[in-house]
Structure 1
Amino acid sequence: MDEQKTSSVFGGLSPKQTFLGGIVAGVLVLCTIGFIILLTLFLKGGTFVSESNGSDGPAPTERVAAAAPTPAPSGSIVLRAVDGDDHIRGDKDAKITIVEFSDFECPFCKRFHETLQQVMDKYGDSVRWVYRQWPIDSLHPKARTEALASECAAEQGKFWEFADKIFEVTPSNNGLDLSQLPTYAGEVGLNVGKFNDCLASEKYASAVEEDIQEALASGGRGTPHSILIGPDGEKTLISGAQPFSSVEAAIQQYL
């Protein structure tokens, strides 16, 4: 009986109508699946990377899920040692280090920047925050220029002031007006003439590219990508824009 009813429903349609109906149904299913995937990405936090930033490194193919900080197997995350060339906030000799690879136009990085500011307010004597560059060109073409600008600010001893300013004013997702960078440089106390000359020269392009390659080599698949390093060198992966409570829990295990 059921088969007869089904047959009668489709029997009234021409082959062309049946074919077109199938296409429409398929498109609707794909759109629904796509919406669910995008909604999941947004709710979890983190920028998905699907290209290789135009570099020669391996192309990231997975998104960094905002899962709880996870201890990494020994030797699975390779990072260069923190040194005097790094941008360090907090006690330079702190026993806990958070190395963050970030993109100035990533909305999740903007959120996580505030989280790490909270961390430093509370644990600045025990934690040092190391910022390394990972502008994702395929998503935020302006971010590499902002990364270069921050390196020029560092040249004048104002990296963190400039970085805080950019994350404060940018609407994210490639929304910052790059022509305003000199204005922001002046607002944080930089010599604007020297800043402009430095930015125009792109003298720190290779340093930014080195950070990008390190982010990829350390297993990064999206921004923000952070690694917490304990007193004995043990590493904990902090994936995506974790809330303060999750980062604090990872810190507390070493205090």
Structure 2
Amino acid sequence: MEEINTKQTTKILSTFLTGNILQVFLIVLLIGAFFAIGSLYTKVKFYEKSGVSPNVANLGTNNAPTPNLLTQPEEAGKVNPISDKDHIRGNSKARIALIEYSDLECPFCKRFHPTAQQVVDTYKNDVVWVYRHFPLDRLHSKADKEAEATECAYKLAGNDGFWKLTDKIFEVSPANNGLDLATLPDLAAGVGLNKQAFQACLDSGEMAAHVEEDYQSGVTTGVTGTPGNILLDTKTGKTRVLPGAVPFDMVKQAIDEMLKS
């Protein structure tokens, strides 16, 4: 009888311990899941607050911009030299170039666009704005075609036509794939371009290669999101990365420091 009771007791104790270990294991898994979700949420909110539109492929990596950019300046990778293919605004002989890799459907690019214009207006002789395409097509499927549209504007009316249509798209687009591509010919006509010639250029897809070339140069430079902003000192060759829709004061401070060197 004692032997039976001992076996029963052992069995009950074993069952109890097994059940509790399983419960503890499940609790640990749940806690780990909560931490993982919390970490991902924090990272997404950080991107939103910092003004960076991340590339989908890099969303899970630890590549968020450092908040204190000026005390911990980051240099860019290999930067393609400014050429006749680039779209510039401002003094072409300026010492400092603000090179922006941009996506026409990116909300942070839309926010930064007037900031870049303010920089050029403030530093009339010292800073030139260089615009390069970096459409994040996995986020914004319309961005590639819109970039091609601005290149068609360049083909028809030069640098002036390019900037007029680029400004107009940023003005009217709600961002995040909100622009109806069917309105592009009318937008082009609204800034003084021949509507039929523009439509023919856009339909041909002839500007896709140039857009892709810009994109690949951004990849080489190390751009992973938009707007990807790089200050290039053409005198010293030094660079400084300012990722995201950084405020004017931050850009100004960085430029002033470069001009002093």
TM-score, scaled to structure 2:
0.80
Instruction: Give matches, 1:120-199, under 5 Å.
Output: 120-155=120-155, 156-157=157-158, 158-199=161-202
Q: SS state of the match for residue 51, structure 1?
A: helix
2:85 is aligned with 1:79: no
1:154 positional shift: 1.0
Task: Say if 1:102 and 1:223, in contact at 8 Å, map to a contact too.
Answer: yes
- C-alpha separation between the residues in 2 aligned to 1:114 and 1:166? 13
Deviations 1:212-250 (A, max 9, x none): 111111011111112111122211111111110010011
Runs of 4+ residues deviating >6 angstroms:
23-26
Aligned length: 235
- Cross-structure match for 1:7: none
- Cross-structure match for 2:102: 102
Task: Say if 2:56 and 2:139, in contact at 8 Å, map to a contact too.
Answer: no
Q: Which structure has more helix as a fraction of its residues?
A: 2
- Cross-structure match for 1:46: 52
1:50 positional shift: 2.7
- C-alpha separation between the residues in 1 aligned to 2:184 and 2:225? 25
- C-alpha separation between the residues in 2 aligned to 1:185 and 1:132? 20
Q: Bigger radius of gyration, 1 or 2?
A: 2
1:124 positional shift: 2.4
- C-alpha separation between the residues in 2 aligned to 1:165 and 1:203? 22
1:164 positional shift: 0.7
- C-alpha separation between the residues in 2 aligned to 1:204 and 1:92? 24
- Cross-structure match for 2:248: 244
- C-alpha separation between the residues in 2 aligned to 1:241 and 1:31? 26
Larger mean CA deviation between 77-86 and 134-143 belongs to: 77-86
Q: SS state of the match for residue 171, structure 1?
A: coil
1:201 to 1:96, Cα distance in 2 relative to 1, 3 A:
same
- C-alpha separation between the residues in 2 aligned to 1:233 and 1:173? 35
Task: Say if 2:55 and 2:225, in contact at 8 Å, map to a contact too.
Answer: yes
Q: Given residue 114 of structure 2, which amino acid in structure 1 is its aligned partner?
A: E
Identical pairs, percent: 40
- C-alpha separation between the residues in 2 aligned to 1:62 and 1:144? 27
Unpaired segments ≥5 residues, structure 1: 1-10, 53-58
Q: SS state of the match for residue 226, structure 1?
A: strand
Q: SS state of the match for residue 173, structure 1?
A: coil
1:31 positional shift: 4.1
- C-alpha separation between the residues in 2 aligned to 1:32 and 1:91? 47
- Cross-structure match for 1:4: none
- C-alpha separation between the residues in 2 aligned to 1:81 and 1:189? 31
- C-alpha separation between the residues in 1 aligned to 2:200 and 2:124? 34
- C-alpha separation between the residues in 1 aligned to 2:238 and 2:38? 42
1:65 positional shift: 1.6
Q: Given residue 256 of structure 2, which amino acid in structure 1 is its aligned partner?
A: Q
Q: SS state of the match for residue 57, structure 2?
A: coil
Q: SS state of the match for residue 162, structure 1?
A: helix
1:62 to 1:100, Cα distance in 2 relative to 1, 3 A:
farther
1:60 to 1:87, Cα distance in 2 relative to 1, 3 A:
farther
- C-alpha separation between the residues in 1 aligned to 2:56 and 2:97? 28
Aligned CA-pair RMSD: 2.7
- C-alpha separation between the residues in 2 aligned to 1:64 and 1:29? 19
Task: Say if 1:66 and 1:242, in contact at 8 Å, map to a contact too.
Answer: no
